[in-house]
Amino acid sequence: MTLRQLESFLAVAREGSFTRAAKRIHLSQPTLSERIRDLETEMGKQLFSRRRRQVTLTEAGRVLEPYAAQIVAASESATQAMSALDGLRHGSLTIGASTTPGIYVLPRIIGRFRARHPGIALTLRIANSRTIEERVRAGHLDLGVVGGHVLGAGERCLTAGLLDELVLVVARGHPWAKRRSIDVTRFSQQPILMREEGSATRYVTERALQKAGVQCRAAMEFDHTEAIKQAVMAGLGVALVSVHAVRGEVAARKLVALRVRGLALRRHFHVIHAEGHPVSPSAQAFVRLLESRAS
């Protein structure tokens, strides 16, 4: 049994596909398949059930999975400890972020981090908040940056200094375009465009509306903020989005941003980490940079 075999085993278990697992760990599919065959020979058990395009763990695979995860995590912790001795001259850091911080906030901060620590290989993964939480808990990400977060089991918050605010955006030709704000009671009179379930922006919006006693349904759902902005510009409705996400469009007079009186729409971006896992030196350095950005 080798560490590479266990890493390959975990990649297939988590992706549910040899093709996706091979891409994830940057291997050719034949090499990945060979590692799994060698591991199954070593264990004397079949670890995966292969049915058409679906790959699932067998009973033996489910027994092996937590042990494999512990071994791989211990190896990563050892590597991180060695990196600490280098004073951040070498190492790696994988950050996951929900759409708003990942696209509109983190790139500039990552640029500053790279300038300070050019020897750290940094990877940014973007998905909705629910997916980022799952990947943090599973140990796939060193850090997760999500907005409006309620801490879940297996997670801990390292910092929550970055502030965000949702604003109502309307098209330039909209009847509200000449206003600076509207009352919350008028909000439900318009077709509302929302992010998909699992999005932190969606969660914050629904929670704020519920507290204000306003009932409304999404006229349309989108899985990306950029799609929502284009839909608003096309006159399909109005939307609550992060002020960070619309600065360019508002400055270019493509959209108008209003505040909604009676809605609490401020939130913090939380940096989360898997509970029980050590925080690597590179992750600690990134958190410190975020905190300095927030102050």
Tokens of 174: 């909209």
Single residue among 83, 118, 142 that ends a domain in this structure: 83
Same domain membership, residue 279 and residue 167: yes
Same domain membership, residue 239 and residue 143: yes
At 203 the pLDDT is: 87
pLDDT higher than threshold 70 for residue 84: no
* Residue range(s) defining the domain that contains residue 199: 91-295
Single residue among 64, 83, 102 that ends a domain in this structure: 83
Instruction: Measure the CA–CA gap between 206 and 213, rounded to whole angstroms.
Output: 10
CA 16 to chain centre: 20
* Least confident piece of the model among 72-76, 164-168, 189-193, 269-273: 72-76
Instruction: Measure the CA–CA gap between 25 and 42, rounded to whole angstroms.
Output: 22
Same domain membership, residue 13 and residue 78: yes
Same domain membership, residue 166 and residue 75: no
Q: Which residues pair with 183 in a beta bridge?
A: 261
* Assessment of whether the complete model's pTM goes beyond 0.85: no
User: What is the rounded average pLDDT of the residues 265-275?
Assistant: 89
* Least confident piece of the model among 6-20, 84-98, 119-133: 84-98
pLDDT higher than threshold 70 for residue 86: no
CATH value at residue 253: 3.40.190.290
Residues 6+ apart with CB under 8 A from 273: 136, 142, 143, 144, 155, 156, 157, 158, 279, 283
Instruction: Measure the CA–CA gap between 147 and 86, rounded to whole angstroms.
Output: 33
Dump pLDDT digits (tens) for 32-50. 999 999 999 999 999 999 8
Same domain membership, residue 269 and residue 130: yes
Report the 10 Å Cβ neighbour count for 139: 17
Same domain membership, residue 169 and residue 195: yes
Single residue among 42, 65, 83 that ends a domain in this structure: 83
Q: Which residues pair with 258 in a beta bridge?
A: 168
Instruction: Measure the CA–CA gap between 73 and 6, rounded to whole angstroms.
Output: 11
The DSSP code for 181 is E
User: What is the rounded average pLDDT of the residues 25-35?
Assistant: 91
Same domain membership, residue 38 and residue 96: no
At 200 the pLDDT is: 84
Same domain membership, residue 224 and residue 110: yes
Q: Which residues pair with 55 in a beta bridge?
A: 50
User: What is the rounded average pLDDT of the residues 211-222?
Assistant: 88
Dump pLDDT digits (tens) for 219-242. 999 989 999 999 999 999 999 999
Same domain membership, residue 171 and residue 63: no
Same domain membership, residue 170 and residue 110: yes
Tokens of 180: 């600076």
- Candidates 285, 284, 263, 289; CA nearest to 273 is 284
Dump pLDDT digits (tens) for 134-168. 889 888 899 999 986 667 778 888 988 788 999 99
Residue 19 identity (one-letter amino acid): T
At 295 the pLDDT is: 59
Strands (E), the chain: 48-51, 54-57, 91-97, 120-126, 143-147, 155-171, 181-183, 192-195, 218-222, 238-242, 255-261, 266-274
Instruction: Measure the CA–CA gap between 143 and 89, rounded to whole angstroms.
Output: 19
- Candidates 96, 99, 95; CA nearest to 198 is 99
At 5 the pLDDT is: 94
Residue in this structure with the two tokens 């958190």, named with its chain if needed: 287
- Domain total of the chain: 2
CATH value at residue 48: 1.10.10.10
